[in-house]
Structure 1
């Protein structure tokens, strides 16, 4: 009598495994191979803050960068960081290709921001997405060196035709913004198979 439930759970597991995930670790050119497991390395210049990477069929390009540094730290993701010029309202960001490059659907953006320099802390930040180069309302974030949780999580919807990106802006008296990496996850929509599984489960419950 439990077979329909087992079949339904199997369908759910299959749907979860279909999610598109693009994970990018910002590496300083000081140590370009210090890459977090399951992340792709985007190497950023130590003195110019420039860098780009193509992964998942999308060109990711750093914008507003002034430099990068490799620090010792608890993990490869937050040990190295890219940053803009230190100033009030300073930002660093990444563009997600051009118009139409990011597939349509609901996306989850996770952003890491930390600088383990042992001196002035990064502090509070604003993290948001850009659509067609226009900044959308950001969320508040606090710098931290752990992988879980990230500094910020932002949900947004791609229309499949616009250009998208992310930005990290300083929101603290130290005027510091940092970017260690980010992860984009396309939230799977319920498929025909999943809806069928829900129907089977509902039928099973009614028969009981």
Structure 2
């Protein structure tokens, strides 16, 4: 009986993944984030949006993961990353039919988002470790490496966007952000983007010098 339930659950999840992966993620501007968080913020509206949008974004990148070379997919680290995405998709799907008027549902949803964010904290180093495992086991193929790099660029951008959505919801609607009271969620409306980019370049240069003794 337990096996039957597992098979039914797996089939249902596969169906949901196929369904949501047919949609494209909704494009969102920084202005929309700021406007929603500062003036028009409604937790029920955000809940209704995210319970549809997050499955779309998770499903799309999960489909892309499945297109990776079999030898890369079979590495322990990539399998672990896949399992995190599967669990996170399952967590969000639990709320598809929940009532947004129920305050307990909204609270549980925020808790689920925090759990998802924490679960994915080590996605970047774990996926990188998977690539290392793949190269050590099967050598370096320039064509395959180029395809994998293209995937990684999309994968990391997807991760950033998902975390951005999660952070905005949890920070805007938990009632406080004591460390940064002037922020709107996780966004500093007075951020000097040019200075941040310059600082990031300096940090990258320092790391290159430290590990490779040369920097661009």
Normalized against structure 2, the TM-score is what?
0.23
Normalized against structure 1, the TM-score is what?
0.24
Larger strand proportion, structure 1 or 2? 1
Larger helix proportion, structure 1 or 2? 2
